[in-house]
Structure 1
Amino acid sequence: MRRARGRAAGVVVAVLSGLALAATSTTAQAATGPDVIAHRGSSGMAPENTAAAIDLAVRQHADYVEIDVQRTKDGKLVNFHDCTMERTTDIETLYPGRPHYRVSDFTWNELSRLDAGSWFHPDYTGEPLITLDDVIHHIKHTRTGLLAEISPCSQYGTTLATDLAHTLHNKPRYLRNALAHHQLAVQSFQTDDARTFHTQQPDIPIGILDADRPTETELTELSQWADQINPQHTVTDQTLVDRIHQLGMDINVWTVDEPGAIRTMTGLGVDGIITDYPQTLTQRG
């Protein structure tokens, strides 16, 4: 994630010198180590996707925080993962009897009253939800970058990708600085969302999340426009890492928490490790 690779050039290089490129990429990555990407912030130690988790990841020297972008009923982009809000907030207590508890069913004013911390630990009682703007405010003067996931929740269609692209476009100072320092990327499980975003913001690296092992056909097609392939670590091996690098893309694996799995993924030469415990890799508590 340190840079967006040249897509078309990557395909040519793969044909002419794929094995040499793979060896060079693996050697370089071994020298620097993979990017440390804090999954929903430092979510193993603080309530996910809150300011507490974001700030802790920054203090732990994570290279990136990974967040989840959704949209409220009144159009505010917020940082929240689940498609409904019962697991990590007190929304049912505060708003009993609602037919649905999706982010998109509530205004930001309503959601800003929620407790998003006490489910994790009493010490975090009253920890609020935060917006995309809040996330950027917390990291923009740090060395920690942003990996933003476009939520796959079905109610948004591809409009959420458009909203995220528009919001980032309207932050030109942040956008210029983040891109200059390789501190911004966007990812999605939905290829249509990723393409929509990429069409509108082609300079921002775009990644494709995958719970399954991508096929050769998928990899070849995606290499024409995507910058990253971000698979589950359990489907990742040396052959996949090398092939993604041969095609000119980066690979960030998720969600890697066990020390043995972290060592394995590092040894494969992945570009980034998405983890709930960034301090395990940074050695910063």
Structure 2
Amino acid sequence: MVRRSVRVRGVVWLRRPLRVASGALASVVTLTVASSALASGPDGQQLATRGGKVVSLQAGGSAPFVIAHRGASRYAPENTLAAVDAAYRRGLVWVENDVQRTKDGRLIVLHDTTLNRTTNAAKVFPGRAPWRVGDFTAAEIARLDAGSWFGKRFAGEHVPTLADYLRRLDRHRQGLLLELKAPERYPGIERQTLRELRSLGWLDAAHLTNRLVIQSFCVRCVKRVHKLMPEVRTGILGRPSLSKLRRYARFADQINPRMSDVGSRWARVVHGLHGPHGRRLEIYAWDVGAQASVRAVRGRGVEGVID
């Protein structure tokens, strides 16, 4: 595949096609137009990946920024290290994941609050239905196969710990949109997650500026994250009513709804507010729909998609 460069404000940037890991945006998008505050810091810093090459540029292009939902989950089993690698191979510099806690207090990356859909828990532990994440120790979960359900070549893929997941992202210099999944089941998970992020170097200036956002459907949990660590950018999942947006902007930088819930008036109100870090609130939409075009997505007024 031919690579081209483009000169912007006296700097030569890498320009190469990105094959979006999604049926929703199954066209070829150039990374020179895939940019936002997610990809760059408040002072215009750019996010670099492989060998220091910049893969995102100025905002204002025609294509939305794409975040790999649960990793490149159309190409590898969701929320696994294989899905992180698949996103990297496809040029996706941000991934989204889901964080939960085991019975013995370890943070792992898994979407469902039960283990049986994406692992062989029912076979390994047949008498422990409904196989809730919080009922199993980290060692028990480490025994499970989290890849065979997706395809034979992924047999033996494991449910990763958050620590292993962060190390893999650092290897690739990818950013993370981290969702606290069902935090009401795991009291104190906000503080624990921040503690683990800190221990692995993810709360330094570089990560905070360019490579980390924490989101949740639980508004009070997002607020708690902001209170514990105001420097961390945060997002609220869902579509809050217009009457709540101004209050939420005090502690959230993003409002991330289902695509079908994004209306033009609602989006204008969101974009008319500024978050706790002084930037305009952003919208990253999910559940985009397999037939959505780039034009249709951009027409909704969103900065990007989680897909």
- Structure 2: which 5+ residue stretches go unaligned? 1-37, 43-57, 275-280
Aligned residue pairs total 249
Structure-to-structure mapping, 1:77-116, within 5 angstroms: 77-116=107-146
Paired amino acid for 1:176 = A
Give the TM-score, by structure 1 length: 0.81
Of 182, 193, 196 in structure 2, the residue corresponding to residue 167 of structure 1 is: 196
Query: In the alignment, is residue 184 of structure 1 matched against residue 201 of structure 2?
Result: no
Q: Is the 8 A contact 2:163 2:200 kept in 1?
A: no
Paired amino acid for 1:220 = R
Of 209, 212, 219 in structure 1, the residue corresponding to residue 245 of structure 2 is: 219
SS in 2 for 1:147: strand
The CA distance in 2 between the partners of 1:173 and 1:193, in whole Å, is 19
Q: Which residue of 1 aligns with 2:80?
A: 50
Deviates more, 1:185-194 or 1:98-107: 98-107
Q: Which residue of 2 aligns with 1:239?
A: 265
Q: Which residue of 1 aligns with 2:303?
A: 271
Q: Which residue of 1 aligns with 2:10?
A: none
Query: In the alignment, is residue 205 of structure 1 matched against residue 233 of structure 2?
Result: yes
**RMSD between superposed Cα atoms in Å:** 2.0
Q: Deviations over 1:50-70 (max 9, x none)?
A: 111111011111131100000
Q: Is the 8 A contact 2:260 2:288 kept in 1?
A: no
Q: Highest relative contact order (Cα 8 Å, sep 6+), 1 or 2?
A: 1
Paired amino acid for 2:141 = L
Seen in structure 2, the aligned counterparts of structure 1 residues 31 and 99 have a Cα distance that, compared at 3 Å, is closer
Q: Deviations over 1:106-162 (max 9, x none)?
A: 1111111100111111221111110111111111143420000001164214x1112
Deviates more, 1:52-61 or 1:91-100: 91-100
Paired amino acid for 2:229 = Q
**TM-superposed deviation, 1:175:** 3.4
Query: In the alignment, is residue 38 of structure 1 matched against residue 64 of structure 2?
Result: no
Structure-to-structure mapping, 1:93-172, within 5 angstroms: 93-152=123-182, 154-157=184-187, 159-172=188-201
SS in 1 for 2:61: helix
SS in 1 for 2:68: strand
Q: Which has the higher helix share?
A: 1
SS in 2 for 1:30: coil
Q: Percent identical across equivalent pairs?
A: 38
Q: Is the 8 A contact 1:38 1:64 kept in 2?
A: yes
Paired amino acid for 2:235 = G
Seen in structure 2, the aligned counterparts of structure 1 residues 2 and 217 have a Cα distance that, compared at 3 Å, is farther
Give the TM-score, by structure 2 length: 0.75
Q: Is the 8 A contact 2:218 2:236 kept in 1?
A: yes
The CA distance in 2 between the partners of 1:177 and 1:115, in whole Å, is 34
